[in-house]
Structure 1
Amino acid sequence: MLNWIFVGLTIFVAVMIAATAMLPAKPHKNVILETTLPVAQLKHPAVSKLTQQYIQQLWGLALLFSIGGLPMMFIHFDSLALLYFVLLIFALFSAFYGTSTLQLFKKIWI
């Protein structure tokens, strides 16, 4: 029964991190993805493409980690289920942080 809670928590955390990590992709006072741009450049196709790609990557990661948490239901030992959950959450945080960092490096090199 405890494994269902772990699966639910994994899905909840993945969706919440994806939703909060999308906030920098919405322009606020000429700042988008932690970069200040002129008003005219906010609507540029390259900027729009970069933000859409970033949002798609975040939702893709959320879906991947939600599906990755489903095998936890079939682990019969609580200690192994807890270990799997902790490693999955650690990988989830690392992947979302890596995606944000990768988008910043893409902006620098483009």
Structure 2
Amino acid sequence: MKKYIGKNITVTGQTVNMKLGAILITDNGENIWMDGMDSWPEGYYVNDNNLKTVKVTGTIIEKNDLPVFIPNENDPVLQQGIPEPKGTDLEEASHRYLLKDYTYSIVK
């Protein structure tokens, strides 16, 4: 995906709603987040057993904004986010690709 950053692309994949927003899982298994979309509109995502296939055209961008952390058993504060194992590069783990300025349509 890195070579497509800033470029307009068209991809096909399945719609999934996650806690942090809407995702397109491409035919090759890549997760691409939909920038600014909290969830797919009604009819585009039913449930995990009934995924919709869509074609999306938009500009690829990247962000390092996923809320990742390495749990600390000695910290009394309840940590929020995505726990990662010790030794994880948190900058890399927080990375994601997104589509912005996109249009989409159901394929099947």
Work out whether the TM-score is over 0.5. no
Structure with greater proportional helix content: 1
TM-score bracket for this pair, using the shorter chain length: under 0.3
Structure with larger Rg: 1
Structure with greater proportional strand content: 2
TM-score (norm 1): 0.21
TM-score (norm 2): 0.21
